[in-house]
Amino acid sequence: MEEEGKLIKKSLWLFEYNRGDSALYLQQFYAIDENDVRRQIEEFIRRSNFPVYWERLRHVPSGFTIGYSSLRGTIYERPDGSVIEEAEIHAQPTPPETAVQAPPPGESTSETASGSASEAAPG
């Protein structure tokens, strides 16, 4: 696990399932990696008082919007499990080893021009 005082980065995963009927249900999870989300899903299934039939697991680190509602693609947790708000993240100084250096004037890289590449969804 993370050292005391460090933030824990978690990304959004959507678990699609049905209950034996014709409807499809979504359950959101924020997890460190696929093993973490699968552990959370197992706990969700164990605690459910209805049948859960696995349909699909999607990794959506860029976030998810449906109707007038949006889910953040990434959250940060403190070691105590509390979620840190977006404004607090931007107020914290970037550690020197992770600080992004600007390219020299006139020089651009794919990372600085278009942002980092998104991760492909599993399955």
Domain ranges of the chain: 8-95
What is the rounded distance in angstroms from the CA atom of residue 45 to the CA atom of residue 57?
14
Cα angle: 86, vertex 89, 90; to 5 degrees: 95
Averaged pLDDT, 92-107: 49
Report yes or no on whether pTM surpasses 0.75. no
Q: Are 13 and 64 in contact (CB under 8 A)?
A: no
Task: Say whether pLDDT at 9 is over 50.
Answer: yes
Q: Which residues pair with 85 in a beta bridge?
A: none
Which one is predicted more confidently, 87 or 40?
40
What is the rounded distance in angstroms from the CA atom of residue 9 to the CA atom of residue 83?
10
